[in-house]
Amino acid sequence: MNREAMIEAVRAEMPERRWIHTMGVMETSIILAKRFGEDPDRAEQAAILHDVAKYWKTSRMETIIREEGLPAELLEFDKELWHAPVGAFVAEHQFAVKDIEVLDAIRFHTSGRVGMTQMDKVVCLADYMEPGRDFPGVHKIRELAEHSLEKALIAGFDSTISYLLEQGKRIFPLTVAARNDLLAVIR
């Protein structure tokens, strides 16, 4: 599928405000890819698709997770996490994306993972700091991103983890492992 067709198909899956967010992630992924030596075109493709399943009904995501062998452990944690691996599945099977780095960047854009690739980091960080984002600490994340992909991403995970603690929610272990792994990388 070409870029324009992909954009139109993804746009049709979401409300206008989420499409505006997606365009912000596209633009920011390109900037970060250029800054940190990743392929901007492939980073943009991951960005276009990263939230494609965000507005799927819970039951539809649950069916994919159960029937397509995605990690069943996800079902025990916040439903907000599900759209990332389901999005990677949709990218592969409905959008015929074959690039494993693009698929993994979509799959891990919410949680991160241990051993994040440069592509994973670019897309996950772009999701945190695109121009439409406004949450406590986002300015600091943008500042850190001028020089360090890893330091900025750690600050992003810190903000998510703090938010989950405040809300009394469970924390997906992969998010904690991703943050610990990044701390090991920068020391």
* Binding positions for ligand DGI, 48-87, rule CB under 6 A: 51, 54, 77-78, 80-81, 84
Question: CB of residue 131 vs ligand DGI: minimum separation in angstroms?
Answer: 13
Question: CB of residue 75 vs Fe ion: minimum separation in angstroms?
Answer: 18
Cα torsion 121, 122, 124, 125: sign: positive
Out of 28, 29, 45, 110, the only residue in the binding site for ligand DGI (CB under 6 A) is: 110
Using CA atoms, how far apart are residues 133 and 156, in angstroms rounded to an integer?
A: 12
Number of residues that bind ligand DGI (CB under 6 A): 16
What sections of the chain are H helices per DSSP?
3-11, 16-36, 40-49, 58-67, 83-93, 100-107, 118-129, 138-144, 149-166, 173-186
120 binding Fe ion? (CB under 5 A): no
Residue nearest to ligand DGI (CB): 172
CB 22, CB 10: distance < 8 Å: yes
CB 58, CB 79: distance < 8 Å: yes
Among the listed ranges 2-10, 31-39, 63-71, 167-175, the one in contact with ligand DGI (CB under 6 A) is 167-175
Residues that bind ligand DGI (CB under 6 A): 51, 54, 77-78, 80-81, 84, 109-111, 127, 160, 164, 171-172, 175
Positions touching Fe ion (CB under 5 A) are 51, 127
